[in-house]
Structure 1
Amino acid sequence: MNKNYLRREGLAGLLGLSAAAALLLASCGDNAEVLPRQLPDYYPLSVGSYRIYDVTDTTWRNNVPTASHFQFREQVLAAPEPDAAGQPVYQVVRSRRATAAEAWRPDSVLTVTVVPLNVTEQFNNRRTVALVLPAVEGKSWSYHAFNSNYNASDGQDSASVVTRFYEQVGKPLSIVRNGKTYDFANTVTTINDLKTGSNNNATKLIVQRTTFAPGVGPVYRVSRSYKNDCSGAEGCRVPFVRYLGQSRNQVLIESGN
């Protein structure tokens, strides 16, 4: 895995280059024709589009889990508006309900910017780099590239550290949820667990991963943050004990326009 990828070819994407940066030279010579590179759309957005996720939240206390279940709907209700650089920014409205029989209630708003070489998400005033295109196995980048003052004291990735990776590029994904199987023939996964050095050690374990399907969008999200029991005289427990922590996983169960 080459963690200097940003220096060689990915930095331009993170800085939001114009569409010209994604052009591919189709031929050589004085009359060379420049054609746009056709990249898979891993985060399609359009007015009226929506995705519904089945969500499981789990809280850990003294290695004992307590789980809750609900649904999220992410929906684009209006046309995108340009940001300061003229790039289209979509507002993705998130609603929540406890069961499919209940009405949706407003929850939060996620803003998503899609440009030729990257996709960024902004939530709670924090902008993160969700994707860097094209997706290549082992490619890496900084998840917090736009957060120069980000505080990494809690073990999260900092703006100056390469902390996001691609794996399972072009692989199928099958998930069973509530007795139903959801199959996605072609996916890519972004991941930062077990590969980010200081983020995972004997005292804590932090996992963040998202799987995308072209033409569909995010289909599976996982986030976990655990602290080990290090109160004993001999130090942290081995094997790892989820003394305190939280986890959430989201499975796409429906999408449309």
Structure 2
Amino acid sequence: MSTLRCAPLKCLAWLAPVAALALAGCQNDTVPGPESGKEYFPLEIGSYRVYAVADTLWNAFQRTPSSYQFRETVTDQVSDATGKPAYRVVRARRTLPTDTWRDDSVMVVSVASRSLVLTKNNRRTVELVFPVQQDRTWDMYAFMLGDTTEALDTGDRRYDNRRYQNIGEPFQIMAGGKTYRYDQTLTTALIVGNPNKYGFDDEVNRSTYQQVYAKGVGPVYRVRRRFDYCDPQTGTCGKSNTRIYKGQARHEILIEQGKL
């Protein structure tokens, strides 16, 4: 019976392809874990995003549309309400692309190991939870009564009002005759029908909210609708005739991004 003999370096060279094939086979069998999700909302001082906004108001069945632009700029690093590192985001507004930007509001975004929290008008909302997983739900108002991360995982799903959808899916939308496409996105949507005042869809009211985030880009699309179908003069309520007595619908589409 013969025995394979070779110099040490030659044996290593011969075994290298075999080892590479074995390693590749192991990698193919590995099931990837959930994404952390932080790459869907990058934050860098000086970066900005410009959104085209279509806003429609209803009052006493009268519809009033308007359009303008928002610019959200990460201006500096600060501390949030709990003393943790965060980023200040200044939102400016203008009606026409030729107009001067005027500051509209200020937000604070903080990113922790398990969530991304947005503070605006002294209200904290959980915009993302980590890791991202298809159909995962959470209470976006979990931190309004306390500042502990346990609020996200109480095991009580009755008051969850946000859900992940379409994780890793492409997204495409048009604005101003131009098509914007992103290869890898995720969507957060408002859950309606839960016994809370934040999400509902019935014969009297309708409330929906959806955000699309692109990997490496951030929020690229936002839509919010809040309608009241009741007519106080007749005392009748119902959306079968599609008449909106009072409400608002706002669509925001990312059309520009960069760094100042």
Q: TM-score, normalization: structure 1?
A: 0.75
CA contact (8 A) 1:187 1:213 kept: yes
- Larger mean CA deviation between 127-136 and 226-235 belongs to 226-235
Q: Aligned with 2:69: secondary structure?
A: strand
The gaps in structure 1 that reach 5 residues or longer are 1-36, 150-158
Structure having the higher helix fraction is 2
CA contact (8 A) 1:203 1:230 kept: no
CA contact (8 A) 2:109 2:116 kept: yes
Q: Give the deviation of 1:84 after TM superposition.
A: 6.4
- Map of 2:218 onto structure 1: 217
**After the TM superposition, which residues 21-32 of structure 1 pair with which residues of structure 2 at under 5 Å, given as runs?**
none
CA contact (8 A) 2:41 2:219 kept: yes
- Map of 1:169 onto structure 2: 167
Answering whether residue 138 of structure 2 is matched by residue 146 of structure 1, we say no
Q: Give aligned-pair identity as a percent.
A: 37
Note the alpha carbon deviations across 1:1-40, whole angstroms, 9 max, x for none: xxxxxxxxxxxxxxxxxxxxxxxxxxxxxxxxxxxx9724
Q: Give the deviation of 1:160 after TM superposition.
A: 7.5
Relative to structure 1, is the Cα distance of residues 57 and 233 closer, same or farther in structure 2, using a 3 angstrom cutoff? closer
Number of aligned residue pairs: 211
Of 21, 32, 36, 1:39 maps to: 36
Relative to structure 1, is the Cα distance of residues 219 and 195 closer, same or farther in structure 2, using a 3 angstrom cutoff? farther
- The alignment yields a C-alpha RMSD, in angstroms, of 2.3
Of 229, 252, 255, 1:250 maps to: 252
CA contact (8 A) 1:174 1:181 kept: yes
- Matching residue's letter, 2:102: R
CA contact (8 A) 2:159 2:195 kept: no
Relative to structure 1, is the Cα distance of residues 233 and 72 closer, same or farther in structure 2, using a 3 angstrom cutoff? closer
Q: Give the deviation of 1:112 after TM superposition.
A: 0.3
- Map of 1:228 onto structure 2: 229
Relative to structure 1, is the Cα distance of residues 239 and 137 closer, same or farther in structure 2, using a 3 angstrom cutoff? farther
Relative to structure 1, is the Cα distance of residues 195 and 220 closer, same or farther in structure 2, using a 3 angstrom cutoff? farther
Answering whether residue 46 of structure 2 is matched by residue 48 of structure 1, we say yes
- Matching residue's letter, 1:72: F
Relative to structure 1, is the Cα distance of residues 216 and 233 closer, same or farther in structure 2, using a 3 angstrom cutoff? closer
- Matching residue's letter, 2:36: L
CA contact (8 A) 1:193 1:200 kept: no
Relative to structure 1, is the Cα distance of residues 240 and 46 closer, same or farther in structure 2, using a 3 angstrom cutoff? same
Relative to structure 1, is the Cα distance of residues 84 and 111 closer, same or farther in structure 2, using a 3 angstrom cutoff? closer
**Partners in 2 of 1:128 and 1:45 — Cα distance?**
17
Q: Give the deviation of 1:249 after TM superposition.
A: 1.0
CA contact (8 A) 2:35 2:132 kept: no
CA contact (8 A) 1:72 1:97 kept: yes
**Partners in 1 of 2:81 and 2:95 — Cα distance?**
38
Q: Aligned with 1:101: secondary structure?
A: coil
- Map of 2:209 onto structure 1: 208
CA contact (8 A) 1:142 1:160 kept: no
Note the alpha carbon deviations across 1:170-207, whole angstroms, 9 max, x for none: 11111111111111111111111545466221110001
**Partners in 2 of 1:221 and 1:85 — Cα distance?**
28
**Partners in 1 of 2:239 and 2:98 — Cα distance?**
43
- Matching residue's letter, 1:77: T
**Partners in 2 of 1:132 and 1:89 — Cα distance?**
16
- Map of 1:189 onto structure 2: 187
Q: Give the deviation of 1:239 after TM superposition.
A: 4.4
Relative to structure 1, is the Cα distance of residues 233 and 178 closer, same or farther in structure 2, using a 3 angstrom cutoff? same
